[in-house]
């Protein structure tokens, strides 16, 4: 995630806010990049008719090296979806699950993919379509020959013949995510509070880019709980999920209202600007 992506996130959320609040932009500057004197050091300062906005963006990973792990999983296992399309027994669809961090260091991706395809085709016909009445006959967990990590193959109703890739969430995921949210708020809230002064509106943009384990409700609850300890809380907090072509925006805080009390918190689907 480089500066270009961060710029895209900031610009997209600004566009959403401007439309939502019916604002007219006069000027946008990037104080953190421009290092202007006597200007608060934030990611964006937006001058609009009748109001000034200061904005900070930060990325929240679900666990350490989550984005790097997601990229490795997508690169190694993503091609299986196309290669197995229409080749698995119906009814029902399949989920191939691996543990977080399992693919780290895996080499010879073509050989691993071939071994997994052979194993999935062999196991799928013997799985029953998942329901409370058939468990555990709807899944199998093994370390297939030629694969350096264990996998679990599930069979579930609907989406006939499709296969999806997923990560097994570790038990400690919720606390690790909470710690990252706590650090983000501790880093960004004082900065925004100083930049806000007496007249500006402060906005914090939290980004989640986790197609496997991202959970907007868990993030929203953690943010609401952690903000209780902050007298320097931003005026508004937005969550933007950037893992798909259409991004999703949620309003986690709007003035004195937190996620569950915000009128129309989302989801709002936007094209990246």
The residue whose two tokens read 């964006």 is 44
Whole-model pTM over 0.85: no
The pLDDT tens digits for 199-212 are 899 999 999 998 77
- The greatest distance separating any two alpha carbons of the chain, rounded to the nearest whole angstrom, comes to 69
Task: With a cut of 70, say whether residue 2 has pLDDT above it.
Answer: no
> How far is Cα 257 from Cα 259, in angstroms, rounded to an integer?
7
Tell me how far the alpha carbon of residue 98 is from its chain's centroid: 18
Q: Is 20 left (phi over 0), alpha (psi -120 to 50) or beta?
A: alpha
Q: For 107-160, write each residue's pLDDT tens digit.
A: 888 999 999 999 999 999 999 998 878 889 999 999 999 999 999 999 999 889
Domains detected in the chain: 3-63+172-270 (3.40.1350), 67-168 (no CATH)
Cα angle 27, 32, 35; round to 5: 85
**Is residue 36 over pLDDT 80?**
no
Query: Looking at residue 129, what DSSP letter applies?
Result: P
* pLDDT tens, residue by residue, 59-110: 998 877 787 888 888 889 989 999 998 899 999 999 999 988 888 888 888 9
Tens digit of pLDDT for each residue in 223-265? 999 999 999 999 999 999 998 899 999 999 999 998 888 888 9
Using the Cα atoms of residue 161, residue 166, residue 171 and residue 177 in order, give the sign of their dihedral: negative
- Describe the chain by its helix, strand, coil percentages, rounded to 5: 35, 25, 40
Q: Are 251 and 266 contacting, i.e. CB atoms less than 8 angstroms apart?
A: yes
Count of all residues that appear for the chain in the document: 273
């Amino acid at each position: 995630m480089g500066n270009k992506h961060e710029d895209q996130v900031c610009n997209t959320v600004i566009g959403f806010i401007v439309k939502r609040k019916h604002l007219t932009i006069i000027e946008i500057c990037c104080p953190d990049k421009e290092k202007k004197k006597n200007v608060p050091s934030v990611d964006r300062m937006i001058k609009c008719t009748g109001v000034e906005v200061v904005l900070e963006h930060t990325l929240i990973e679900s666990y350490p090296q989550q984005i790097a792990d997601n990229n490795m999983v997508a690169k190694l296992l993503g091609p299986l979806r196309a290669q197995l399309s229409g080749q698995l027994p119906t009814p029902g669809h399949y989920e191939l699950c691996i543990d977080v961090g399992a693919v780290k260091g895996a080499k010879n991706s073509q050989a691993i993919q071939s071994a997994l395809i052979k194993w999935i085709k062999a196991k799928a016909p013997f799985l029953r379509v998942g329901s409370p009445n058939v468990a555990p006959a709807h899944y199998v967990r093994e370390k297939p020959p030629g694969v350096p990590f264990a996998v679990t193959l599930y069979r579930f109703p609907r989406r006939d013949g499709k296969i999806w890739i997923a990560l097994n969430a570790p038990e400690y995921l919720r606390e690790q995510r909470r710690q990252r949210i706590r650090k983000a708020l501790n880093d960004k809230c004082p900065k925004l509070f100083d930049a806000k002064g007496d007249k500006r509106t402060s906005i914090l943009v939290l980004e989640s880019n986790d197609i496997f384990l991202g959970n907007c409700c868990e993030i929203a609850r953690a943010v609401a709980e952690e903000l209780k300890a902050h007298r320097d809380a931003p005026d508004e907090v937005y969550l933007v999920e950037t893992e798909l072509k259409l991004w999703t925006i949620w309003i986690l805080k709007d003035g004195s209202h937190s996620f569950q009390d915000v009128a129309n918190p989302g989801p709002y689907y936007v094209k990246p600007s």
